[in-house]
Amino acid sequence: MAEFTVYDETTAPEASRPYLEAAKKRMGFVTTLNGVMGESPELLAGYNALAEQFGKSSLPAHAKQVVLITISVENGCEYCVAAHSTIALRTKVPAEVVEALRAGKQLDDPELEAVCRFTRLVVSGRGWVDDAEVQAFLDAGYTRRHVMDVVLGVGMKTLSNYTNHIAHTRLDDAWQDQRWTRP
């Protein structure tokens, strides 16, 4: 197994340092994910830019968290499932929603279930989603812009999920309470 360094804002390559400093201000610490990404300033910058844009996207706040957890479960990313479960709970996503997402079960909330289902189809189909499924997502009250916002979330999470798979990123203490193991 290749070893990857977990950088911080003082040890990272010079071009990565501003991104890690910003992450530390935003989160209170440099996550091991960001620390690993620090190896490539371009990856770190790209991931952070996509995360910022996804945060500004038109999806409702709870739907954004559903998207992020769903992608991470589909990709089997133990790090991101734990991190986003913690963040979702902190942002008042109901615990039963988080637990259902982590278990791959259907959600009781029809609007959140629609975004979960559509996201799952985008990931599992590698973007090839049947037109009827796109229409079902639209019929559930979402818009074409929401479709594209889900694609943005998939792009962002694919970067982090794949980084974690390759680097075997250590789970931060902040996410330990929501540790998750892929089935």
User: pLDDT tens, position by position, for the chain (183 residues)?
Assistant: 789 999 999 999 999 999 999 999 999 999 999 999 999 999 999 999 999 999 999 999 999 999 999 999 999 999 999 999 999 999 999 999 999 999 999 999 999 999 999 999 999 999 999 999 999 999 999 999 999 999 999 999 999 999 999 999 999 999 999 999 998
Which tokens in the block code for residue 102?
A: 């982590």
Distances (CA, A) of 3 to 6, 163, 167: 10, 12, 7
pTM equals 0.96
Rounded distance between C-alpha atoms, residue 47 and residue 35, angstroms: 12
